Amino acid sequence: MGTELMNSDSTVINVRSDTQTLPTDAMRRAMADAELGDETYHEDPTVRHLEDRIAALTGTESAMLVLSGTMANLVALMTHCRPGDEVFLDANVHVLRAEAGGLSRVAGVTPTIVPSARGHLVARDLDAAVRPRDVIRPRPRLVWLENTHNLAGGSVLDPRTQAGIAAVARTHGLSVHLDGARLPNAAAALGTSWSDLTSGVDSVYLDFTKGLACPLGSVLAGPKDFIDEARYHRRVLGGGMRQAGVIAACALVALDTLVERLVLDHETAQLLASELAMSDNYRVINDVETNIVVVDVSKLGSPRFVAERLREVGVIASLRPPHAIRLVTHLQITPALAVETARRMERLATELVIA
Ligand SMILES: Cc1ncc(COP(=O)(O)O)c(C=O)c1O
């Protein structure tokens, strides 16, 4: 493991996100030893190997390595849609809230927000939101899903609900894209395969930089003609790569060594939530289904105030305004560190209440 955190008062516990993970020693070795070629000509054997494995795991025809999740989503939008086309999505999906407005600025699509439950679209509301084609309206084109849903606290979209949404999309002639940045977490939580969770979707992106601890690298997968076209859009965005096998090698080690253990991150999140449930000062406000714990801190102050005080005692969290902070478990967060996180939070709360 790159950095071994010890259970001591001086340890900084970084639960800001699972993107804070560091690559393991095996990953670093694989990057150094990777067989390489020029990816722009699709001649990097390690990249091709990774893409083939992801296509097989997701039950798709083809896959393509990209530099980041944001780029994967943007390429998906540009491949599915023409500028002006309408995309149906939940109000808090990552592509709308945290990807710098690229969907409008670069892909030029028209977002239409559809009511959702736990961040996942409700099939009958989607049905009602799609209007007949008409010269005055944007052309309805794409339905957007996110599994797990980051801003909904890591909530999981189950295959049955997804099938219902996909059926509505088909009725209206719409394609479906799945932002699966944390699809491996969803699969671990449901005890199912990745291909179960891609059933009914036209394209999916998976990320290696979240719970899978890679420093960069995401994969977009779908039908062969879709991925062929996506390669063009990746190039347009400046995402064409050369000896990208160094990235793919790392992801291949993650596939072999880190996927199975994601359930441990979920157990650690449960442990953290149950420790915090014993406190009168904090309130866990999400159903902890995966590795994300959202905590209402309003008894102590604003999220920013509490997060700044927590940083002083060595706990790094992210903000979930207006009332909450977010804690995410990952490869470097052991059960002991989860307990230590709750202990530091409670000690801080006691100090703040007394002051
Ligand atoms: C659900 C989801 N999609 C996409 C992304 C984009 O990934 P990146 O920020 O690495 O580009 C993230 C990042 O956290 C995410 O949580």
How, if at all, do strands 86-89 and 140-146 pair? parallel
Q: Is the beta carbon of 291 within 6 A of some atom in ligand 1?
A: no
Does the CA dihedral 231-235-237-238 come out positive or negative? positive
Token pair, residue 101, equals 């407005």
Closest-lying ligand 1 atom to the alpha carbon of residue 17: 14
pLDDT interval class at 1 (50, 70, 90): very low
**111 strand-pairing partners:** 87
Q: Which residue is listed with tokens 């939008």?
A: 77
For 240-286, the pLDDT digits (tens) are 999 999 999 999 999 999 999 999 999 999 999 999 999 999 999 99
Centroid of ligand 1 to alpha carbon of 210 (angstroms): 8
Q: Which of 67, 70, 183, 328 to mutate to test the pocket of ligand 1 (most atoms within 8 A of CB)?
A: 70
The pLDDT value recorded for residue 10 is 74
DSSP state of 343: H
Closest-lying ligand 1 atom to the alpha carbon of residue 71: 11
Closest-lying ligand 1 atom to the alpha carbon of residue 70: 11
| pLDDT at position 184 over 60 | yes
Q: What pTM was computed for the model?
A: 0.96
DSSP state of 110: E
Q: Is the beta carbon of 340 within 6 A of some atom in ligand 1?
A: no
Produce one character per residue of 194-225: b if its CB has 16 or more CB atoms within 10 Å, e if not. Answer: beebbebbbbbbbbbbbbbbbbbbbbbbbeee
| pLDDT at position 78 over 80 | yes
Q: Is the beta carbon of 283 within 6 A of some atom in ligand 1?
A: no
The pLDDT value recorded for residue 4 is 40
Q: Is the beta carbon of 69 within 6 A of some atom in ligand 1?
A: yes
Burial (Cβ within 10 Å: 0-12, 13-18, ≥19) of residue 5: middle
For 27-75, the pLDDT digits (tens) are 999 999 999 999 999 999 999 999 999 999 999 999 999 999 999 999 9
| pLDDT at position 196 over 90 | yes
Centroid of ligand 1 to alpha carbon of 15 (angstroms): 16
Whether 25-257 and 2-21+261-354 are alike in CATH topology: the answer is no
| pLDDT at position 322 over 90 | yes
**207 strand-pairing partners:** 218
DSSP state of 287: -
Centroid of ligand 1 to alpha carbon of 280 (angstroms): 33
Closest-lying ligand 1 atom to the alpha carbon of residue 216: 10
Q: Is the beta carbon of 175 within 6 A of some atom in ligand 1?
A: no
Q: Is the beta carbon of 102 within 6 A of some atom in ligand 1?
A: no
Centroid of ligand 1 to alpha carbon of 153 (angstroms): 14
**296 strand-pairing partners:** 283, 324
CATH number attached to the domain at 2-21+261-354: 3.90.1150.10
Q: Is the beta carbon of 154 within 6 A of some atom in ligand 1?
A: no
Q: In 3-state terms, what secondary structure has residue 117?
A: strand
Q: Is the beta carbon of 209 within 6 A of some atom in ligand 1?
A: yes
Distance CA 28, CA 33 (A): 9
Q: Is the beta carbon of 290 within 6 A of some atom in ligand 1?
A: no
Comparison of pLDDT for 9 and 233, the residue scoring more: 233
Q: What is the mean pLDDT of residues 186-205?
A: 98
Q: Is the beta carbon of 181 within 6 A of some atom in ligand 1?
A: yes
Q: Which of 90, 93, 99, 219 to mutate to test the pocket of ligand 1 (most atoms within 8 A of CB)?
A: 99
For 150-161, the pLDDT digits (tens) are 999 999 999 999
CATH number attached to the domain at 25-257: 3.40.640.10
Q: Which of 65, 75, 150, 326 to mutate to test the pocket of ligand 1 (most atoms within 8 A of CB)?
A: 150
pLDDT interval class at 5 (50, 70, 90): very low
- What are the boundaries of each domain within the chain? 2-21+261-354, 25-257
